[in-house]
Amino acid sequence: MLFESTEFVGRSCVPFVADLSRYGDRTALIADGAEISYGTLAERVDSAVRQLGTTRRLVLITGANTVDVIVAYLACLSAGHPVLLVPGGSSASLASMIDLYRPDVVCEDGRFGELTEGTAHDLHRDLALLLTTSGSTGSPKLVRLSHENVQANAESIATYLGIRESDRAITTLPMHYCYGLSILHSHLLRGAGTVLTDRSVTDSEFWALMRKHRVSALSGVPYTFDLLDRVGFADMDLPSLRYVTQAGGRLGADRVRGYSELGRRRGWDFFVMYGQTEATARMAYLPPALTIEHPDCIGIAVPGGSFRIEPIPESENGGELVYSGPNVMLGYATEPQDLALGREIDELRTGDLAVRNDDGLYRIVGRRSRFAKLFGLRIDLQRVEAALIGAGFDGCCTGGADELLVAVTGTDEARATETAAQACGLPTSAVRVRTVPELPRTQNGKVDYRAVAALFEERDRPDPVPPESDAQAGFTQLRDLYSAILGTTDVDADSTFVGLGGDSLSYVRMSVRLERLLGHLPPDWHTTPLRDLVPSARSAPRGWRTIETNVLIRALAIVLIVGSHANLFAIVGGAHVLLAAAGYNYARFVLPGARRERLRHTLQSVRRIAVPSMLWIGALVAFTGVHPIASVLLLNGFFGPEAWTREWRYWFIEALVYILIALAVLLAIPRVDSVERKHPFVFPLALVALGLLTRYQVIGPDTPTSQILASYVVFWLFPLGWAAARATTVWHRVAVSAVAVATLPGFFYAEPDRTALVIAGLLLLIWLPRMWWPALLVRPVEILAGASLYIYLTHFTVYTLLESDPWIAFTASIAGGIVYWYLWLGLEKLRRRISPGTAGTARCAAGARGGWRCVPLLRSSNELPPGSRRDP
């Protein structure tokens, strides 16, 4: 058994999955030339069920049209584990879902990785499947589907399509899309076969598979039929084809009629279907016998379902289409707590406007939300699009601030503008048309209206990207920047700074360089995929730029530390501010990700701090002998003197290393990790409370001489900075501010100036994430902040040699640290060049970036199980 068992799940909750074995030797799946029987599929599913264990858990699966993924998916349905099915291939959206919903188990490429022992969720007994809504890939909004929903919709689809055991479908749609998933469900229900492929219908190999495996069912969205037109589908000889289905958006009436007539000539039926993810997949279908006479209708409700039309005041034509049936979802989920909810709705308001004709067929006439208000007029955008189609344009439109925005394929902007203006009653000056080679579409083949609006935003940009810096060139610039600073070539469009292992040391250089490139810096840039960091110019006061407060604090703090030690001035407390800033950055760069990824990033941070520190101190010992070996090993806190001596000079380095190691151990405990994820703001405050026990000497040794330097005494400042980073509301910020103001007075004995400095630094972190700064000083701040660790290390040696002149001592100390920093960066580049990292072969969940446990669940595709057949 793969995972610990604490609770019995019970027998299959989805009947057609439990009945797989009854079809025996019939072919269930065909992949890579191998045919897998239902009996073999059932055995592999049962094996996966046993490995999953009996504790009911939330399992995230990245959808893919492969045998291993389908086996893993069916195993979850069989054992009753709710499945969160997400797109594969996008590490950014995957990380977003993991971060929000915290699944107990993650499965990518058919391999399970455990994030939580047992389960961290309260899962409703009826919950079977969670899908993203159409067009909302990466959105936290999920559709909650029950076991009954999955079974009922599969049965209704199989019934009206008349699916037989002898039928074979082929995958033309992704598994995570409800349309694609419904094809698999309905064919498994009837003991039919499914050919698994990711090839496009434009690929000749796709049609070779169609003929070789005698595929009888072909499915597509409107865009699929655009591609079929291009490849000459009408002239293809496909003798085994029995029916073609269309859903996922409206297909023009002329094309529906054309495909229906083609099907009658070629001997196959053409089904027009209508559905939404909220109804598991399908709600209506148009019987093939009616498609020529009523090509603009969606038809009738699927078996077991029913429609009604609810009048709405704002509609001049038809009312809202409302659907009822056993396939209507339980409700939506927008956060993990929603997974405990049961049924919240009994009927589905589709958002579509419809009418019912005399033959009892329903026809969609508009979309309730597809309206724009321009110049006091209510514009029906779908009617405009219909007019464009009628005029021979493939187009779509959306409402702008004070004009209608229209994207069309072709080159005749003037005629498209005139057509759209006449359809909506606006003057042509209020209609703006942009011609494109192809309409932007979502992964499911539907028109991407957000991308359409973005087309016009790009044109409106006051300072457009020059030809040599288009989207591809912009991405190349970002990729090269990330590669140079983070020392990795594993950078793609979905990469993020945090995901690539960025930390507070590399953050400074990256943030400043990135702002210089982009013209602005989004507040969450460190967790934003490169594809969304589009270079653009933002207005700023001449001679000024914004800079992140934590970067500025690091630069100013190291200046104050060095200046005070060199007797240039006496403003102390900078190191304690740096400790809080370290906690702030720890929350931002180390905590995102899975438990093992956190551990890896924390240990990387320890290495990046400890190694250059130990080398520098070791070099001093070798040449001068001024420090004991305990200082070289950063063990002065354990073996050094209690009173202040030169050995305590590096107390800040030791404290930071000790704290990071302690947190690595603490968060490596699954239960603690789970608690932190559930309570991200309360958890660091709890650590603050724990740290205050040593700050006030309630526990711990009585060491008054070095109290403000001992790591266990100053520890509370680190989680205080951590809490500042987690403060997402005004009340959170007020709470952290109150703790800072209440606990810092008295810590530095009779040093009110030092107390005020540390409080001010914390309040800036809490309340002002970014600040304006003279543009000419941004680069110096970047260098000072980036080199702060190295300046801290070296300045104790440099300034003592030049104490006679404070200014020279100060300048030389800063310069010496910067030189050591650049030398270290050069050594790191050389190390990476000599020993480049290689990506692992087993990619689980987020692959090499994931860091959680990868456990092989299934055999590789080259090791066919008993009962499989490989074509010669």
Residue 393 and residue 417 in contact, taking contact as beta carbons nearer than 8 Å = no
What's the rounded Cα separation, in Å, for the pair 173 and 64? 10
pLDDT score at 85: 93
Phi, psi for residue 590 in degrees, rounded to 5: -100, -40
Q: Is 804 helix (H, G, I), strand (E, B) or coil?
A: coil
What's the rounded Cα separation, in Å, for the pair 21 and 636? 67
Give the number of C-alpha atoms closer than 13 A to the C-alpha of residue 867, restricted to the C-beta side. Answer: 16
Q: Is residue 839 part of a domain?
A: no
Helix or strand holding residue 817 (H, E) = helix 806-834
Encoding tokens for residue 593? 């990700």
- 453 & 471 share domain: no
Residue 646 DSSP symbol: G
Residue 378, amino acid: R
Q: What average pLDDT does the segment 395-413 reach? A: 80
- 392 & 488 share domain: no
- 502 & 616 share domain: no
Bridge-partner residues for 671, per DSSP? none
Query: Rounded to a whole number, what is the distance in angstroms from the first to the last CA of the chain?
Result: 36
Q: Is residue 491 part of a domain?
A: yes
Encoding tokens for residue 658? 């000790």
What's the rounded Cα separation, in Å, for the pair 79 and 54? 8
- 262 & 389 share domain: no
What's the rounded Cα separation, in Å, for the pair 452 and 555? 43
Bridge-partner residues for 459, per DSSP? none
Q: At which of 460, 488, 516 does a domain end?
A: 460
CATH (domain of 484): 1.10.1200.10
User: Of the candidates 128, 98, 100, which has an alpha carbon nearest to the alpha carbon of residue 113?
Assistant: 98
Residue 835 and residue 25 in contact, taking contact as beta carbons nearer than 8 Å = no
Low-confidence winner among 76-80, 216-220, 315-319, 324-328 (lowest mean pLDDT):
315-319
pLDDT score at 658: 94
Low-confidence winner among 263-277, 487-501, 717-731 (lowest mean pLDDT):
487-501
Residue 222, amino acid: P
The pLDDT confidence band at residue 843, using thresholds 50, 70 and 90, is very low
pLDDT score at 487: 66
Q: How many CB atoms lie within 10 A of CB 547?
A: 25
With a cut of 80, say whether residue 7 has pLDDT above it.
no
Q: Is 273 helix (H, G, I), strand (E, B) or coil?
A: strand
Task: Tokens 């009629």: give the residue.
Answer: 257
Q: Is 69 helix (H, G, I), strand (E, B) or coil?
A: helix
Q: Give 74-106 pLDDT, tens digit per residue.
A: 999 999 999 999 887 656 567 778 888 999 999
Q: Is residue 152 part of a domain?
A: yes
Decide which of 708 and 316 is more confident. Answer: 708
Please state the pTM of the whole predicted model.
Answer: 0.51
With a cut of 60, say whether residue 138 has pLDDT above it.
no
What's the rounded Cα separation, in Å, for the pair 223 and 457? 25
User: Of the candidates 141, 3, 26, which has an alpha carbon nearest to the alpha carbon of residue 76?
Assistant: 3
Q: What average pLDDT does the segment 466-483 reach? A: 62
- 611 & 532 share domain: no
Q: What average pLDDT does the segment 605-626 reach? A: 90
Q: Give 336-376 pLDDT, tens digit per residue.
A: 999 999 999 999 998 888 999 999 999 988 767 666 656 54
What's the rounded Cα separation, in Å, for the pair 68 and 628? 58
Residue 60 DSSP symbol: E
Task: Tokens 């749609």: give the residue.
Answer: 173
Decide which of 393 and 474 is more confident. Answer: 393
What's the rounded Cα separation, in Å, for the pair 404 and 398? 6
- 748 & 679 share domain: yes
- 119 & 67 share domain: yes
Beta strand extents in 586-683 (DSSP E only): none
CB-count burial class (<10 Å; 0-12, 13-18, 19+) for 337: exposed
User: Of the candidates 731, 735, 729, which has an alpha carbon nearest to the alpha carbon of residue 762?
Assistant: 735
Q: Is residue 859 part of a domain?
A: no
- 593 & 525 share domain: no
Residue 188 and residue 28 in contact, taking contact as beta carbons nearer than 8 Å = yes
Question: What is the average pLDDT score of the chain?
Answer: 82
Q: How far is CA 12 from CA 8, 326, 359, in A?
A: 12, 19, 41
Low-confidence winner among 554-558, 633-637, 650-654, 690-694 (lowest mean pLDDT):
633-637
Task: Tokens 């440099």: give the residue.
Answer: 798
Residue 289, amino acid: A
Q: At which of 428, 460, 492 does a domain end?
A: 460
pLDDT score at 728: 74
Decide which of 73 and 750 is more confident. Answer: 73
Q: Is residue 791 part of a domain?
A: no
What's the rounded Cα separation, in Å, for the pair 379 and 427? 13
The pLDDT confidence band at residue 136, using thresholds 50, 70 and 90, is very low
With a cut of 70, say whether residue 472 has pLDDT above it.
no
CATH (domain of 443): 3.30.300.30
Q: Give 662-698 pLDDT, tens digit per residue.
A: 999 999 898 888 788 778 889 999 999 999 998 888 8
User: Of the candidates 76, 83, 85, 74, which has an alpha carbon nearest to the alpha carbon of residue 41?
Assistant: 74
With a cut of 60, say whether residue 705 has pLDDT above it.
no
pLDDT score at 832: 65
What's the rounded Cα separation, in Å, for the pair 364 and 257? 17
Q: Is residue 477 part of a domain?
A: yes
What's the rounded Cα separation, in Å, for the pair 317 and 819? 74
Low-confidence winner among 160-164, 170-174, 389-393 (lowest mean pLDDT):
389-393
The pLDDT confidence band at residue 854, using thresholds 50, 70 and 90, is very low
CATH (domain of 297): 3.40.50.12780
Q: Using only C-alpha atoms, what is the Rg of the chain?
A: 32
Q: Give 777-789 pLDDT, tens digit per residue.
A: 888 988 898 899 9
Residue 602 and residue 657 in contact, taking contact as beta carbons nearer than 8 Å = no
With a cut of 70, say whether residue 504 has pLDDT above it.
no
Helix or strand holding residue 112 (H, E) = strand 111-114
- Beta-sheet pairing, 193-195 with 27-31: parallel
Decide which of 261 and 487 is more confident. Answer: 261
Helical pair 413-424 and 381-390, crossing angle rounded to 10 deg: 130
Residue 593 and residue 848 in contact, taking contact as beta carbons nearer than 8 Å = no
pLDDT score at 640: 73
Encoding tokens for residue 86? 């997400």
Encoding tokens for residue 647? 């050995």
Decide which of 719 and 627 is more confident. Answer: 719
Bridge-partner residues for 380, per DSSP? 371
Q: What average pLDDT does the segment 292-306 reach? A: 95
Residues, the chain, total? 872
Q: What average pLDDT does the segment 220-235 reach? A: 87
- 403 & 259 share domain: no
Decide which of 9 and 179 is more confident. Answer: 179
What's the rounded Cα separation, in Å, for the pair 209 and 127? 36
With a cut of 90, say whether residue 141 has pLDDT above it.
no
Phi, psi for residue 866 in degrees, rounded to 5: -60, 140
Percentage of residues in the chain having pLDDT higher than 70: 81
Low-confidence winner among 278-287, 429-438, 818-827 (lowest mean pLDDT):
429-438
With a cut of 80, say whether residue 655 has pLDDT above it.
yes
Q: Which domain holds residue 445?
A: 370-460
Q: What average pLDDT does the segment 719-730 reach? A: 88
Q: Give 824-841 pLDDT, tens digit per residue.
A: 988 877 776 675 443 333
Cα-based angle 217, 221, 222 (whole degrees, multiple of 5): 125
Encoding tokens for residue 447? 């028109």
Q: Is residue 613 part of a domain?
A: yes
Q: What average pLDDT does the segment 620-627 reach? A: 85
Low-confidence winner among 143-147, 488-492, 857-861 (lowest mean pLDDT):
857-861
User: Of the candidates 625, 624, 579, 501, which has an alpha carbon nearest to the alpha carbon of residue 744?
Assistant: 579
Helix residue ranges per DSSP H, 727-805: 730-743, 752-767, 778-786, 788-801
Q: How far is CA 646 from CA 295, 558, 797, in A?
A: 88, 19, 11
User: Of the candidates 198, 610, 123, 193, which has an alpha carbon nearest to the alpha carbon of residue 443?
Assistant: 198
Q: Is residue 796 part of a domain?
A: no
Decide which of 655 and 831 is more confident. Answer: 655
Low-confidence winner among 70-79, 486-495, 570-579, 642-651 (lowest mean pLDDT):
486-495
With a cut of 80, say whether residue 486 has pLDDT above it.
no
pLDDT score at 16: 94
Q: What average pLDDT does the segment 640-659 reach? A: 83
Q: How far is CA 795 from CA 632, 787, 813, in A?
A: 16, 12, 5
- 472 & 339 share domain: no
Residue 536 and residue 518 in contact, taking contact as beta carbons nearer than 8 Å = yes
What's the rounded Cα separation, in Å, for the pair 574 and 791? 13
Decide which of 356 and 478 is more confident. Answer: 356
Most confident stretch, 93-107, 642-656, 672-686, 800-814: 800-814
Residue 75 and residue 45 in contact, taking contact as beta carbons nearer than 8 Å = yes
pLDDT score at 8: 39
Q: How far is CA 655 from CA 102, 246, 571, 722, in A?
A: 32, 64, 21, 16
- 157 & 113 share domain: yes
Task: Tokens 């049609």: give the residue.
Answer: 207
- 530 & 592 share domain: no
Q: How many domains does the chain have?
A: 4
The pLDDT confidence band at residue 300, using thresholds 50, 70 and 90, is very high
Residue 717 and residue 739 in contact, taking contact as beta carbons nearer than 8 Å = no
pLDDT score at 702: 63
Per-residue b/e over 355-378, b at no fewer than 16 CB within 10 Å?
Answer: ebeeeebbbbbbebebbbebeeee
Q: At which of 734, 749, 771 does a domain end?
A: 771
